[in-house]
Structures are given as structure tokens and as C-alpha cells.
Chain A
Amino acid sequence: MSIYLDHAATSPLRQEALTALINQLKEVGNPSSLHTFGRDTRKALEEAREKIAKFVSAKPSEIIFTSSGTESNNLAIKGLFWKSNRKVIVVSAIEHHAVLDPAKWLAEKEGAEVIEIPVSHDGIIDIDFLSNLISKREAEIALISVMHSNNETGALQPISEVIKIAGEIPVHCDAVQSLGKVPLEFSGLTAMSINAHKLGGPIGIGALVLKRGIDIPALLHGGGQEREIRSGTLNAPLAAAFAAVLENYPSSKINDLKNRLISGINAGIKDCIINTNSNSLPGIVNVTIPGTTGETLLLLLDLEGIACSTGAACSAGVHRPSHVLMAMGRSDEIALSSIRFSIGPNNSETEIDKLLEVLPAVIEKARLAK
């Protein structure tokens, strides 16, 4: 029996996506071509664009297709910085590396100043900090980037408050984990990153939702597709598959499974600390199991057929303490002894119960192995 509990990394392709993908892959035509084939493919692409736009309450022209959430984040952070003559980039301390690293790169290479918004013990950004920062340095801030929900803890962030206090400062939101799972609106934002595969769509397609009238420099130059912001042949099959998975995500079922797991851990497993607060995504449970290391827990669970995740891994695959948990005030050691379970549409109560059943023995071994 194998149990997949790593949906926040990537979620199995849903049937709707597979059908849309295969149907469109059978068609020929570059969406930019002017003949019938091209127009037909373009039609499929634009229908997908319209669906995605409507789903996030944006205009179709505001959807710029990209290859991934990472590309969308890079495009937004670098683009909004380059467009501005201001030097300060404000990001939350718990952003994904696809936001943090472009910001740090701009600091190293182009003289940006990166200011991180601290977070509470629960992993929620400190709005007062941001508010004070804006009142002091408003004229210097090129952009603010705060994620919609955190990929490690699931914590939902107060985006509407960020938008309110940001005033005229462009706000980018990495909404990759939230799309389709919790209500999400583009309104008030300047840019928003989304992608397909966290939701059961294919890997290899994302979008940057970019407000009309905001033109940012491109990362990829070429055919001038996507408002000349993202050149490259438009990918109608992936776009169609993306659009096919937006609706009908079983969030409430997944939320019940999350609560089942959390109460199971709280009831049956001593000394564990749940790092996921109540205002969070339906599927993510981050838990600290003192006296263990995440890498050992992962290995032992994997050998039991249960897939979960530790924090971020470096390029060589070495487990590092999560910057998210560290920003939440946890020690190195606590951060290293944490794992994330992320639940998706195909999980069942039986699977959660199986996890709860094997956990005590796994934890015991992991403590010995430390």
C-alpha cells in the first residue's frame, strides 16, 4: 500500500486535465499562425485563458502564460523592480525560494535592498511591521511580495490588508498553493503567480496575472507573445489542461482529512507540535516531532510506503532547517525535526488512519537513529 501525502510538492494529474491535454495534443497549429490550424489552436488557448482569468476575477489580457510558478515569480519580482526606479523590495520572511532568491539576486547584482517582513509564531506576517515600514519609506519601495498561503505550513496570509496599506506600491502575490483550494481574487494586486500542477494539472505551465497597463521588462525575448512580456510558442495543450482543473477541488473533504490527521496526532502521539494554525489551507499539516530528524522520518515513512516531505532541500538533496519555521521563531533543531504532510483529492480516511497507525513506531525508530 502506498500513500501519497506530498500534494503541496505536486498533485497527481486529474482526469479532466489528462483528457484536455490529450485532446489538444492531437491538434496541430501554432497559436500565432494565421491559417485555420493556427486559429483553431489559438481558440483553445484563448478559451483556457478566459477560464483562468474568470476564475481569479481577472481580465483575459491579464493572464500571461509561463512555464511554472518559479518563472512567474521571477518575472514579477525582477520585472516590477526593473520597471521601478526605487530600490527597496519588501518580501515576507516565509516566501518560497522562487521569490526570495530573485530578490536576493537583485540585491547582489543590481543594488536592491531586500527587507523581510517578520512573521508570528503561527507563521502569519506582521502587518504592523509592514505598515510602519511603508509609512517611513513609502517612496523607496519598488514592490511588496507576500504569498497567499505558505507552502510549508499552509498559513493563509492577510493579503487584503497588505493591499490596503500598500497604497500605490505594487503588490505581488505568490498564490501557487492557494489556487483552486481557497477563494482567490486578483483584484487589488499588481501581479499574482499561479500554476497548474499543485492542483492536479500538468507540470510545465503557470501564469503571471499582471494588471492591465502594467508593462514589465521580459525575461525571455523572441516572438513577442503574451504582451511582449513572455516570448515562446504558446502551449495550447498545457493551457487547456490547466483550465480544466480549476473547478471542483474537494477542499472541504481535504479539510476534514487534515483535521482528522491533526486530532489523531494530538490525541495519540505524545510531544508533537502542530505548526499549522487553524486559518490555513485545507491540505497541509506541518508537525514537529522533537528528538527526530525530518530526513530520518521521511526515510522510514517512505519505506512504509508513505510519502511526505521535509523542508526545502538543497541541490545535493541535503536537508536544511526550514527558513519558514526559523522565521516562525523555531530553533535549528526544531526546524530539522519537522515534516510536512500535504493531503490531496485522492486521499482517504483509511490512509490518514494508516499513517496515524504507523507513526508511533516510526517516531520511536527515528528517535533512536538520531
Chain B
Amino acid sequence: MKLIAAMSGGVDSAVAAARAVEAGHQVVGVHLALSSNPQKYRSGARGCCTIEDSHDARRAADVIGIPFYIWDMAEEFHQEVVENFLSEYSAGRTPNPCLRCNEKIKFAAVLERAKAMGFDGVVTGHYAILKETPNGKTLNRAVDISKDQSYVLAVLNEEQLQGAHFPLGDTPKSEIRKEAERRGLAVANKPDSHDICFVPSGDNAGWLRERLGSETGPIVDQAGNKLGEHHGAYTYTIGQRKGLGLTTPTSDGSPRFVLKIEPVSNTVVVGPKEELAISKIIGARAIWCGAKPSQNWQTGFVQVRAHGSALPAKYRAIGSNGEVLEVELNEPLLGVANGQAAVIYDGDRVVGSATISETA
């Protein structure tokens, strides 16, 4: 096959490209420039869009022996990921930009461009396993659970999965680093990227405040009594305990947690831990990896955070087209934020995902 290898300049995508070449594919390396002013976004070597990263990707492509180009995706990235990140936060939700980037950039804009240019698909360094089944490709957890990225890939639809290639899913990360070293890739020991690639300082709240302003608003308890003030409701996350800056203690001295973010009234509601517990999740924009489930309850597992664990639950698809996911957890869960993805697993297999719009 003819494949585009999306090369971030990190070790994973470099090894993925090398493995694709070894598997006999004709591979062309592409580094995605995600900022029109690359230095602006991050100065270290941990991100995905610095000049240093593009250089590392180029050198990896040289070593592997494949052509290498830079694709300017800055505009698409800004519109689809950065703008969405801002609008989600200002609506009081907590978005996952990596997931958004996979859905709208890597396996949409890039995959489409690749196909138009005569390529068959896109290979990335994501840790997940794709399995061919009679009913099409399925998405499954990686062998290395600590690195598993099936959660941030669960937004991909069937067509996107068809064009995706994840050669690393069967190998632990530590092995990948050794393999990179064996292959002579200079990025073998490059630190993993963390944080959000377009927030240079890692200071998410500060970054948001700069762009969304810092409008002061009340922090209230569930009865509506004002306990303090905040400088931008969007800098809070459901379940957050630290950094509330409240001076009035609760009657029993127990800590308070962010229960609710109300963007219209710019209000943050706090309360006791037990109020965070939810057992019902409604997810919008459901995407099913394969056949959509029936309207009857089924048992499975749900994961609501990128690094969370999968919890036993029952789920069903509702709405006229199965576009809404309804989940009932077996045990209550604390601090689930709207805007995150709820991903349904059947064992290691991803059944589908949806954006959490409501919890109870």
C-alpha cells in the first residue's frame, strides 16, 4: 500500500513509519505544521509543533530512507481544534483536544488529502490495535495498557478506521524505545509529549484566561450563597478541589469540590464530594465502531477520561439514528465533566464513543 506516515518528531511515529516500510508499504513521511508560527506554541522538545520537532521528524525520515514533507495544517488545526477548545471551555465543558485532533485533523484533513493524492491511508504512532474482521476493522486497546490510546481514537468512524494504520499497538513503549535505538533513530530517548501541544507553558488556566478574558464571577454553594469569587468560570473543572480560594470553611470542615460550571451566569457551584457522584451519562454525537447497538440495554464498560479505567456499565443507543448514547454505571462515579468522551468497550474492543452532554 501507499501510506502517509504522520511524523510528529517523536519516537513513536518514527518507529511506526519504519515498521510500515518494513511491512512492505510505500511510505512517505509528513510532518504536520500545526501553528503558523511554530516557535509560538512551545519552546521545549515535548510538543508536536516546534521547529525542533519538524527537524527531528525529518532526520527520522532520512534514517528510515523515505521522502519527507511538511504539510501546513495550521489553519485547519486552529479552526477545528484550538477554536473548539476555546468554545467548549467557554460553554462550561472540558474538551479533549487530542481526540478532536484525531477526529478532524489526522484522520480527516490529512487522510483525505492523502487519499486525494493517491495514497491508501495514514500510519501513526498511536498505541492501539486494529483488527480485520468480517464486519470491517475494529479498534482495540494496545498491549501496553499504560500507553493505550484507544480512548482518543474512539471518535473515528468506520471509514476513518479503514484508512488508519497503527503498527505499534502490539508492543510495549519500552520496547519501542529500544527498537528506535536499534534502528538508529536519534529520537529514541526523546521525552514523551504531555500536556496540550498548543499551550506552551502547560498553564491551561492562564492560557484560557488570556484568550477568554478574566471576568470575575461568584463561587456559590448549592443553596446559592456566595462563598467567594473566581476570575473566569472556564478555568475550573468538575471535581476540582484545589485552587478555589475559599476562606469560609464548611460547618463540618469537609472540603468543597466544583460541582457545576454555569457559563451564562459565570457561576461556579461548589459542594461536598458525595454530590459529585453520578451514575447516569448521556452522550451526544455518538460514533459506533462497527454496527450500532440496539435500543436495548447491553452490558459493557465505559471510560470517561483519557487515563481513567473502564467501569462496568450498561449502555444503549437512543435517538432516531442511534446518535445518542445512554449509560448507566453499576457503581457511582465522581466528577465526570461534560465535554469529555464516554467510550464504550467490550473487553478490549471499542464499541463506540460519544461526547458527554449530561450526567445525573
Contact residues of A with B, CB < 8 Å? 295-296, 298-300, 302-303, 314-319, 365-366, 368-370
Contacts and interface: CB of A to CB of B under 8 A. Distances in A.
A262 to B, nearest CB: 26
B117 A365 contact: yes
Interface of B: 28, 31, 33, 36, 38, 50-51, 54, 58, 67, 69-72, 74, 112-114, 116-118
Given A316-B33, A316-B38, A317-B33, A369 B70 contact: no
A365 B2 CA distance: 15
Contacts of A314: 38
A316 B40 CA distance: 12
Contacts, number: 49
A369 B51 contact: no
Contacts of A366: 117
A14 B36 CA distance: 38
A318 B33 CA distance: 7
A296 B58 CA distance: 18
Contacts of B69: 295, 298-299, 302
Nearest to B54: A316
Contacts of A296: 113, 117
B91 to A, nearest CB: 31
Contacts of B54: 316-317
B117 A299 contact: yes
Given A299-B69, A303-B67, A318 B117 contact: no
B40 to A, nearest CB: 11
A367 to B, nearest CB: 8
A316 B70 contact: yes
A27 to B, nearest CB: 35
Contacts of B112: 369
Given A303-B28, A316-B38, A316-B51, A369 B113 contact: yes
Contacts of B31: 317
Given A296-B113, A316-B70, A318-B38, 9 more contacts: A295-B69, A296-B117, A316-B38, A316-B50, A366-B117, A368-B116, A369-B113, A369-B114, A369-B117
Contacts of B67: 302-303
Contacts of A370: 116
Contact of B117 (A300, A316, A317): A300
A281 B118 CA distance: 35
Contacts of B28: 299, 303
B350 to A, nearest CB: 29
B348 to A, nearest CB: 35
A366 B71 CA distance: 13
Binding site of B, secondary structure by majority: helix, strand, loop or mixed? mixed
A362 to B, nearest CB: 9
A317 B117 CA distance: 20
Given A303-B67, A317-B54, A318-B36, A295 B72 contact: yes
A318 B116 contact: no
A125 B74 CA distance: 33
Nearest to B49: A316
A303 B68 CA distance: 11
Given A296-B113, A299-B69, A303-B28, A318 B118 contact: no
A295 B71 contact: yes
Nearest to B4: A299
A296 B51 CA distance: 21
Contacts of A302: 67, 69
B38 to A, nearest CB: 4
Contacts of B58: 317
Nearest to A367: B116
A318 B113 contact: no
Nearest to B30: A299
B359 to A, nearest CB: 41
A295 B28 CA distance: 14
Nearest to B68: A317
Q: Which 6 pairs across A and B sit closest by C-beta, in order of nearness?
A: A368-B116, A369-B116, A317-B70, A318-B33, A316-B38, A369-B113
24 contacts: A295-B70, A295-B71, A296-B113, A296-B117, A299-B28, A299-B69, A299-B117, A300-B117, A302-B69, A303-B28, A315-B38, A316-B38, A316-B54, A316-B70, A317-B31, A317-B33, A317-B70, A318-B74, A319-B72, A365-B116, A365-B118, A366-B117, A368-B116, A369-B114
Given A302-B67, A303-B28, A315 B117 contact: no
Contact of B51 (A303, A315, A319, A365): A315
Contacts of B71: 295
A300 B71 CA distance: 13
A358 to B, nearest CB: 13
Contacts of B51: 315-316
A316 B113 CA distance: 21
A172 B38 CA distance: 34
B305 to A, nearest CB: 33
Contacts of A369: 112-114, 116-117
Contacts of A295: 69-72
A296 B72 CA distance: 10
A370 to B, nearest CB: 8
A299 B74 CA distance: 18
A295 B112 CA distance: 15
Contacts of B118: 365
B290 to A, nearest CB: 28
Nearest to A366: B117
A319 B117 CA distance: 18
Nearest to B69: A299
A310 to B, nearest CB: 11
A269 B342 CA distance: 51
A318 B72 CA distance: 6
B36 to A, nearest CB: 7
Nearest to A368: B116
Nearest to B74: A318
Nearest to B33: A318
A365 B38 CA distance: 28
B351 to A, nearest CB: 33
Nearest to B26: A303
Contacts of B36: 318
A370 B114 CA distance: 10
A173 B288 CA distance: 64
Nearest to B50: A316
Contacts of B50: 316
A302 B36 CA distance: 24
Nearest to A362: B117
Contacts of A365: 116-118
